Structure 1
Amino acid sequence: MSQSEPSLTPQDSLVALMIAVSLSDANIRTSELVKIQSMINHLPVFSDFGDERLQSLSQLVFELFEAEEGLDALFGLIREALPERLNETAYALACDVAAADGHLNESELRLLEEIRYELNIDRLHAAAIERGARARHMVV
Protein backbone atom coordinates (compact mmCIF):
# COMPACT_ATOMS: atom_id res chain seq x y z
CA MET A 1 0.00 0.00 0.00
CA SER A 2 1.54 3.26 -0.99
CA GLN A 3 0.78 6.28 1.15
CA SER A 4 -0.11 8.36 -1.90
CA GLU A 5 -2.85 6.01 -3.04
CA PRO A 6 -3.91 3.69 -0.24
CA SER A 7 -6.93 1.64 -1.07
CA LEU A 8 -8.81 -0.13 1.68
CA THR A 9 -11.42 -2.85 1.64
CA PRO A 10 -14.26 -2.74 4.18
CA GLN A 11 -12.39 -5.33 6.26
CA ASP A 12 -9.20 -3.26 6.02
CA SER A 13 -11.14 -0.28 7.34
CA LEU A 14 -12.40 -2.22 10.34
CA VAL A 15 -8.92 -3.52 11.15
CA ALA A 16 -7.30 -0.10 10.66
CA LEU A 17 -9.80 1.42 13.07
CA MET A 18 -9.09 -1.26 15.68
CA ILE A 19 -5.34 -0.66 15.30
CA ALA A 20 -5.91 3.09 15.66
CA VAL A 21 -7.77 2.58 18.94
CA SER A 22 -4.95 0.40 20.25
CA LEU A 23 -2.36 2.96 19.16
CA SER A 24 -4.30 5.98 20.47
CA ASP A 25 -2.63 5.94 23.89
CA ALA A 26 0.85 5.28 22.39
CA ASN A 27 0.98 2.05 24.40
CA ILE A 28 -0.19 -0.96 22.40
CA ARG A 29 -1.05 -3.63 24.93
CA THR A 30 -0.88 -7.36 24.34
CA SER A 31 -4.52 -7.72 25.39
CA GLU A 32 -5.54 -5.30 22.63
CA LEU A 33 -3.51 -7.16 20.00
CA VAL A 34 -4.95 -10.48 21.15
CA LYS A 35 -8.47 -8.99 20.94
CA ILE A 36 -7.86 -7.72 17.40
CA GLN A 37 -6.47 -11.07 16.24
CA SER A 38 -9.29 -12.96 17.93
CA MET A 39 -11.95 -10.85 16.24
CA ILE A 40 -10.25 -11.24 12.86
CA ASN A 41 -10.13 -15.00 13.38
CA HIS A 42 -13.71 -15.47 14.58
CA LEU A 43 -16.10 -12.81 13.30
CA PRO A 44 -18.01 -13.45 10.06
CA VAL A 45 -17.23 -9.97 8.73
CA PHE A 46 -13.58 -11.07 8.46
CA SER A 47 -14.25 -14.44 6.79
CA ASP A 48 -12.25 -13.53 3.68
CA PHE A 49 -9.68 -11.25 5.34
CA GLY A 50 -6.09 -12.28 4.68
CA ASP A 51 -3.86 -12.23 7.76
CA GLU A 52 -1.03 -10.93 5.60
CA ARG A 53 -2.90 -7.59 5.42
CA LEU A 54 -2.51 -6.99 9.15
CA GLN A 55 1.14 -5.93 8.92
CA SER A 56 0.63 -3.47 6.07
CA LEU A 57 -2.46 -1.99 7.74
CA SER A 58 -0.54 -1.57 10.99
CA GLN A 59 2.22 0.24 9.11
CA LEU A 60 -0.32 2.50 7.38
CA VAL A 61 -1.93 3.46 10.69
CA PHE A 62 1.48 4.10 12.31
CA GLU A 63 2.48 6.35 9.40
CA LEU A 64 -0.80 8.24 9.48
CA PHE A 65 -0.58 8.79 13.24
CA GLU A 66 2.85 10.36 12.74
CA ALA A 67 1.67 12.69 9.96
CA GLU A 68 0.05 16.04 10.45
CA GLU A 69 -3.68 15.63 9.76
CA GLY A 70 -3.08 11.87 9.68
CA LEU A 71 -6.16 11.03 11.74
CA ASP A 72 -8.32 13.01 9.32
CA ALA A 73 -6.71 11.12 6.44
CA LEU A 74 -7.40 7.80 8.17
CA PHE A 75 -11.05 8.69 8.68
CA GLY A 76 -11.27 9.75 5.03
CA LEU A 77 -9.96 6.36 3.92
CA ILE A 78 -12.33 4.55 6.27
CA ARG A 79 -15.41 6.53 5.19
CA GLU A 80 -14.51 5.90 1.54
CA ALA A 81 -14.17 2.13 1.95
CA LEU A 82 -16.65 1.27 4.70
CA PRO A 83 -20.29 0.75 3.73
CA GLU A 84 -22.55 2.79 6.01
CA ARG A 85 -24.29 -0.39 7.19
CA LEU A 86 -21.00 -1.39 8.88
CA ASN A 87 -20.51 1.87 10.81
CA GLU A 88 -22.00 0.47 14.01
CA THR A 89 -19.95 -2.71 13.56
CA ALA A 90 -16.83 -0.57 13.27
CA TYR A 91 -17.72 1.30 16.45
CA ALA A 92 -18.45 -1.94 18.31
CA LEU A 93 -15.08 -3.40 17.30
CA ALA A 94 -13.33 -0.18 18.34
CA CYS A 95 -15.06 -0.29 21.74
CA ASP A 96 -14.05 -3.92 22.24
CA VAL A 97 -10.40 -3.10 21.57
CA ALA A 98 -10.52 -0.09 23.89
CA ALA A 99 -12.06 -2.22 26.67
CA ALA A 100 -9.76 -5.21 26.15
CA ASP A 101 -7.22 -4.16 28.78
CA GLY A 102 -9.89 -3.31 31.36
CA HIS A 103 -9.04 0.39 31.39
CA LEU A 104 -10.11 3.28 29.18
CA ASN A 105 -7.79 6.24 29.25
CA GLU A 106 -8.46 9.79 28.07
CA SER A 107 -6.89 9.35 24.63
CA GLU A 108 -8.97 6.23 23.92
CA LEU A 109 -12.14 8.00 25.05
CA ARG A 110 -11.35 10.99 22.79
CA LEU A 111 -10.75 8.70 19.83
CA LEU A 112 -14.00 6.81 20.47
CA GLU A 113 -15.80 10.16 20.55
CA GLU A 114 -14.19 11.09 17.24
CA ILE A 115 -15.17 7.73 15.74
CA ARG A 116 -18.79 8.28 16.82
CA TYR A 117 -18.75 11.66 15.11
CA GLU A 118 -16.94 10.58 11.94
CA LEU A 119 -19.12 7.49 11.43
CA ASN A 120 -22.31 9.31 12.41
CA ILE A 121 -23.20 6.90 15.21
CA ASP A 122 -26.37 7.92 17.02
CA ARG A 123 -25.68 8.68 20.70
CA LEU A 124 -28.26 6.16 21.95
CA HIS A 125 -26.85 3.41 19.74
CA ALA A 126 -23.32 4.32 20.82
CA ALA A 127 -24.33 4.04 24.48
CA ALA A 128 -25.76 0.57 23.89
CA ILE A 129 -22.62 -0.54 22.04
CA GLU A 130 -20.41 0.86 24.80
CA ARG A 131 -22.48 -0.87 27.48
CA GLY A 132 -22.15 -4.18 25.64
CA ALA A 133 -18.37 -3.80 25.37
CA ARG A 134 -18.11 -2.99 29.05
CA ALA A 135 -20.25 -6.04 29.95
CA ARG A 136 -18.12 -8.36 27.77
CA HIS A 137 -14.88 -7.21 29.39
CA MET A 138 -15.84 -7.23 33.07
CA VAL A 139 -13.66 -9.20 35.45
CA VAL A 140 -14.63 -10.97 38.64
Structure 2
Amino acid sequence: MSFDTASMTPQDSLVALMIAVSASDENIRTSELVMIQGLVNHLPVFSGYDGDRLKRMGEIVFDLFEEEDGLDALFGLIRDALPERLNETAYALACDVAAADGRLRETELRLLEEIRHELNIDRLHAAAIERGARARFMKL
Protein backbone atom coordinates (compact mmCIF):
# COMPACT_ATOMS: atom_id res chain seq x y z
CA MET A 1 0.00 0.00 0.00
CA SER A 2 1.46 3.33 -0.95
CA PHE A 3 0.34 6.14 1.28
CA ASP A 4 2.43 8.90 2.73
CA THR A 5 1.44 8.69 6.39
CA ALA A 6 2.87 12.14 6.99
CA SER A 7 0.11 13.51 4.76
CA MET A 8 -2.69 12.06 6.91
CA THR A 9 -4.44 14.91 8.70
CA PRO A 10 -6.35 14.74 11.97
CA GLN A 11 -9.53 15.04 9.92
CA ASP A 12 -8.41 12.14 7.72
CA SER A 13 -7.90 10.02 10.81
CA LEU A 14 -11.44 10.78 12.02
CA VAL A 15 -12.84 9.85 8.62
CA ALA A 16 -10.76 6.66 8.47
CA LEU A 17 -12.03 5.63 11.89
CA MET A 18 -15.65 6.22 10.90
CA ILE A 19 -15.18 4.21 7.71
CA ALA A 20 -13.53 1.42 9.69
CA VAL A 21 -16.54 1.20 12.01
CA SER A 22 -18.88 1.11 9.04
CA ALA A 23 -16.82 -1.59 7.30
CA SER A 24 -16.25 -3.66 10.44
CA ASP A 25 -19.16 -6.00 9.71
CA GLU A 26 -18.17 -6.29 6.02
CA ASN A 27 -21.39 -4.57 4.98
CA ILE A 28 -21.29 -0.81 4.60
CA ARG A 29 -24.83 0.43 4.89
CA THR A 30 -26.22 3.48 3.15
CA SER A 31 -27.30 4.95 6.49
CA GLU A 32 -23.70 4.75 7.71
CA LEU A 33 -22.34 6.42 4.57
CA VAL A 34 -24.97 9.15 4.83
CA MET A 35 -23.99 9.62 8.50
CA ILE A 36 -20.29 9.94 7.65
CA GLN A 37 -20.98 12.42 4.86
CA GLY A 38 -23.31 14.44 7.08
CA LEU A 39 -20.82 14.60 9.93
CA VAL A 40 -18.05 15.69 7.57
CA ASN A 41 -20.30 18.32 6.01
CA HIS A 42 -21.62 19.80 9.27
CA LEU A 43 -19.27 19.40 12.21
CA PRO A 44 -16.82 22.17 13.06
CA VAL A 45 -13.94 19.69 13.40
CA PHE A 46 -14.21 19.11 9.64
CA SER A 47 -14.20 22.80 8.73
CA GLY A 48 -12.15 23.23 5.56
CA TYR A 49 -11.84 19.48 4.98
CA ASP A 50 -11.63 18.43 1.34
CA GLY A 51 -14.56 16.04 0.93
CA ASP A 52 -12.83 14.45 -2.04
CA ARG A 53 -10.46 12.80 0.46
CA LEU A 54 -13.29 10.60 1.75
CA LYS A 55 -12.81 8.17 -1.11
CA ARG A 56 -9.05 7.98 -0.51
CA MET A 57 -9.56 7.32 3.20
CA GLY A 58 -11.99 4.54 2.30
CA GLU A 59 -9.42 2.96 0.00
CA ILE A 60 -6.79 3.11 2.75
CA VAL A 61 -9.11 1.47 5.29
CA PHE A 62 -10.13 -1.28 2.87
CA ASP A 63 -6.50 -1.92 1.90
CA LEU A 64 -5.50 -2.14 5.55
CA PHE A 65 -8.39 -4.48 6.39
CA GLU A 66 -7.02 -6.90 3.79
CA GLU A 67 -3.68 -7.11 5.62
CA GLU A 68 -3.08 -9.46 8.55
CA ASP A 69 -2.19 -6.68 11.01
CA GLY A 70 -4.16 -4.02 9.19
CA LEU A 71 -6.25 -2.90 12.14
CA ASP A 72 -3.12 -2.35 14.22
CA ALA A 73 -1.62 -0.38 11.33
CA LEU A 74 -4.79 1.71 11.06
CA PHE A 75 -4.68 2.51 14.77
CA GLY A 76 -1.03 3.49 14.40
CA LEU A 77 -1.89 5.92 11.60
CA ILE A 78 -4.76 7.35 13.63
CA ARG A 79 -2.67 7.80 16.78
CA ASP A 80 0.09 9.49 14.74
CA ALA A 81 -2.29 11.95 13.06
CA LEU A 82 -4.88 12.60 15.77
CA PRO A 83 -4.17 15.05 18.58
CA GLU A 84 -4.98 13.43 21.92
CA ARG A 85 -7.52 16.15 22.70
CA LEU A 86 -9.66 14.75 19.84
CA ASN A 87 -9.70 11.14 21.08
CA GLU A 88 -13.14 11.49 22.65
CA THR A 89 -14.39 13.23 19.50
CA ALA A 90 -13.11 10.28 17.47
CA TYR A 91 -14.91 7.85 19.75
CA ALA A 92 -18.14 9.85 19.60
CA LEU A 93 -18.04 9.86 15.79
CA ALA A 94 -17.37 6.12 15.77
CA CYS A 95 -20.38 5.55 18.05
CA ASP A 96 -22.62 7.68 15.85
CA VAL A 97 -21.66 5.73 12.74
CA ALA A 98 -22.17 2.41 14.53
CA ALA A 99 -25.62 3.51 15.70
CA ALA A 100 -26.67 5.08 12.39
CA ASP A 101 -28.47 2.00 11.05
CA GLY A 102 -30.32 1.41 14.32
CA ARG A 103 -28.54 -1.83 15.15
CA LEU A 104 -25.17 -2.58 16.75
CA ARG A 105 -23.59 -5.76 15.50
CA GLU A 106 -21.08 -7.81 17.45
CA THR A 107 -18.22 -6.79 15.14
CA GLU A 108 -19.05 -3.12 15.63
CA LEU A 109 -19.17 -3.55 19.40
CA ARG A 110 -15.78 -5.30 19.38
CA LEU A 111 -14.26 -2.55 17.25
CA LEU A 112 -15.69 0.15 19.53
CA GLU A 113 -14.11 -1.65 22.48
CA GLU A 114 -10.78 -1.73 20.65
CA ILE A 115 -11.10 1.98 19.81
CA ARG A 116 -11.73 2.78 23.48
CA HIS A 117 -8.58 0.89 24.37
CA GLU A 118 -6.39 2.27 21.57
CA LEU A 119 -7.44 5.87 22.17
CA ASN A 120 -7.28 5.50 25.95
CA ILE A 121 -10.88 6.58 26.50
CA ASP A 122 -11.86 6.44 30.17
CA ARG A 123 -14.65 3.89 30.69
CA LEU A 124 -16.95 6.44 32.36
CA HIS A 125 -16.46 8.93 29.52
CA ALA A 126 -17.02 6.16 26.99
CA ALA A 127 -20.29 5.21 28.69
CA ALA A 128 -21.49 8.82 28.50
CA ILE A 129 -20.55 9.05 24.82
CA GLU A 130 -22.30 5.75 24.09
CA ARG A 131 -25.43 6.86 25.96
CA GLY A 132 -25.48 10.08 23.95
CA ALA A 133 -25.31 8.14 20.69
CA ARG A 134 -28.07 5.80 21.86
CA ALA A 135 -30.27 8.80 22.73
CA ARG A 136 -29.65 10.48 19.36
CA PHE A 137 -30.63 7.36 17.41
CA MET A 138 -33.73 6.23 19.31
CA LYS A 139 -36.78 5.38 17.22
CA LEU A 140 -40.42 5.96 18.04
Q: Give TM-score, length-normalised by structure 2.
A: 0.97
Gap regions ≥5 residues in structure 1 = none
Deviations, residues 39-89 of structure 1 (Å, cap 9, x unaligned): 000000001110110111000000000111000000000000000000000
Moved over 3 A (4+): none
**Alignment partners' CA distance in 2, 1:77 and 1:32:** 22
Aligned positions of 1:97-116 closer than 5 A: 97-116=97-116
Identity %: 77
**Alignment partners' CA distance in 1, 2:63 and 2:44:** 28
1:92 CA displacement: 0.1
Q: What is residue 33 of structure 1 aligned with on the other side?
A: 33
3-state DSSP of counterpart to 1:80: helix
1:91 CA displacement: 0.0
**Alignment partners' CA distance in 2, 1:72 and 1:60:** 13
Letter in 2 for 1:115: I
Q: What is residue 56 of structure 1 aligned with on the other side?
A: 56
**Alignment partners' CA distance in 2, 1:102 and 1:55:** 24
1:2 CA displacement: 2.2
Aligned positions of 1:8-47 closer than 5 A: 8-47=8-47
Q: What is residue 67 of structure 1 aligned with on the other side?
A: 67
3-state DSSP of counterpart to 1:121: coil
**Alignment partners' CA distance in 1, 2:121 and 2:73:** 19
Q: Please, what is the CA RMSD of the aligned residues?
A: 1.0
Q: What is residue 80 of structure 1 aligned with on the other side?
A: 80
Q: What is residue 130 of structure 2 aligned with on the other side?
A: 130
Letter in 2 for 1:117: H
**Alignment partners' CA distance in 2, 1:98 and 1:137:** 10
Q: Give TM-score, length-normalised by structure 1.
A: 0.97
